[in-house]
Structures are given as C-alpha cells and as structure tokens.
C-alpha cells in the first residue's frame, strides 16, 4: 500500500543562525550602530572601529543574517573579571521575535564559562526600551554617567552578576 505523501505535513521552523561577524560585515554593523544606537550623537562606531573589534581576540562580534542583509548583531568585550556589552541591535522590522534575547544569551555564555563575575553595559538614558530589555535579562542599574554620550546624553550603567561556578571539593584518601 502506497503512503500518500501529500497527507504528511511538515512544520518548518525557521530559526536564524547566529554566526561570528567577519571583516566583511564591518560596514553593515557600523551602519546599524549609527542608525539604531547612536542616532543623534554622531558616529563613534565607525567601520574601522568595528573591524578592529572583530579581529580583537578578547572580543566576540556576532551577527544574524547574510553579509548584505544583517538583521541583528552584538559585540561583547571580555576581560579577567568582567565583560562589557559594547553594542547590541536588531533591525526594527525584526524586533520582538526573540533575536535580541538570543544574541545576548550567546554573548553571555563565554563569560559564564570563563568564570567572569559581572557584565557591564551602558544604555542611553533616553532609551527606556533598551533599559527595560536589559532589566528583563537580569541587568540592574548600578549608576548613571552624566553626559556620557558626546557630552549630550546621560548613560544608565547596568550590571549583571554571574553565578561563580562552584567547584566540587575533592576528598583526599
Ligand atoms: C533592544 C533590542 C536589541 C531588543 O531586540 P529584540 O529582538 O526586539 O528583543 P527580543 O525580541 O528578544 O525582546 C523584546 C521583546 O519582544 C518580546 N518577544 C520576544 N519574542 C517574541 C515573540 N515571538 N512574539 C512577540 N514578542 C516577543 C520579548 O518578550 C520582549 O518583550 P518586552 O519588551 O515586553 O519585554 C532592540 O529593541 C534594538 O535593537 N533597539 C535599538 C538599539 C538598542 O537600543 N540597543 C541597546 C542599547 S546598545
């Protein structure tokens, strides 16, 4: 008896892949930073600066989407005890689908594995949506830097404390 393939339905779930950004992505990332993060402030995350951080071994720069059509990206810089979330943005047409959450989760994982104690991030004080987003992801306000952005806009500084791994004690025989 033949099986009627037409009756078999497949659910196709499309989950955009997160990948490492490359030097070829620097232009698109810098443009998104200018348009969605630094709007009204000039442009500090230029292509050259983004390219430098992409090649920095102490940073992770990740992206969602093809080179010509990046829809989201994030950059985190890691040091011995703390990490700094430098940039995070999702294209306006693609927000509220969980991409921001996936990017921040991805960037936090290496910090957890490395035993880093806290992650710091600054958000524009005039960006309550970003502040609420970070709060939802476990970041709490720890300060305010007056006129942090180009001497014009305050920054709200937030931090997330990571659980320090508990090492099992070994019994000595
Ligand atoms: C902040 C930012 C990165 C969040 O990205 P995002 O992709 O929209 O984030 P998420 O989709 O994970 O979460 C946003 C909201 O969508 C909701 N959401 C997630 N998946 C969803 C889904 N499938 N359907 C409906 N809502 C959903 C989340 O619950 C969250 O809701 P809340 O705001 O009520 O808490 C994005 O708004 C952005 O790029 N802003 C401009 C740049 C910026 O401010 N960057 C941060 C400072 S550097």
- pTM summary value: 0.88
CA–CA dist 89, 36 (Å, integer): 7
Instruction: Give the H or E element holding residue 102.
Output: helix 99-113
Q: Answer with the residue of higher pLDDT: 110 or 14.
A: 110
- Is the pLDDT score of 8 beyond 50? no
Q: Tell which atom from ligand 1 comes closest to the C-alpha of 91.
A: 39
User: Ligand 1: does its nearest atom lie under 6 Å from the Cβ of 37?
Assistant: yes
* pLDDT single digits (tens) 34-87: 999 999 888 999 999 999 999 999 999 999 998 879 999 999 999 999 999 999
| pLDDT attached to residue 168 | 43
* pLDDT single digits (tens) 106-158: 999 999 999 999 999 999 999 999 999 999 999 999 999 999 988 889 999 99
User: Ligand 1: does its nearest atom lie under 6 Å from the Cβ of 85?
Assistant: no
| Residue 128 neighbours by CB distance under 10 Å | 11
Report the alpha-carbon angle 74-78-80, nearest 5: 165
User: Ligand 1: does its nearest atom lie under 6 Å from the Cβ of 45?
Assistant: no
Q: Can you tell me whether residue 69 is helix, strand or coil?
A: helix
115 contact partners, CB below 8 Å, separation of at least 6? 164, 165
User: Ligand 1: does its nearest atom lie under 6 Å from the Cβ of 88?
Assistant: yes
- Domains in the chain (CATH in brackets) are 17-161 (3.40.630.30)
């Amino acid at each position: 008896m033949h099986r009627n393939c037409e009756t078999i339905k497949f659910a196709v779930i499309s989950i955009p892949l997160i990948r490492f950004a490359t030097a070829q992505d620097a232009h698109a990332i810098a443009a998104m930073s200018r348009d969605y993060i630094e709007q009204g402030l000039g442009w500090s995350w230029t292509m050259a600066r983004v390219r430098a951080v992409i090649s920095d071994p102490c940073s992770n720069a990740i992206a969602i989407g093809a080179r010509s059509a990046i829809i989201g990206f994030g950059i985190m810089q890691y040091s011995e005890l703390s990490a700094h979330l430098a940039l995070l943005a999702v294209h306006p047409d693609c927000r509220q689908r969980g991409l921001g959450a996936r990017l921040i989760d991805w960037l936090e994982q290496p910090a957890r594995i490395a035993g880093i104690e806290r992650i710091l991030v600054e958000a524009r004080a005039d960006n309550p949506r970003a502040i609420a987003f970070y709060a939802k992801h476990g970041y709490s306000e720890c300060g305010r830097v007056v006129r942090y952005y180009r001497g014009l806009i305050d920054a709200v500084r937030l931090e997330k404390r990571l659980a320090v791994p508990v090492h099992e004690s070994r019994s000595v025989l």
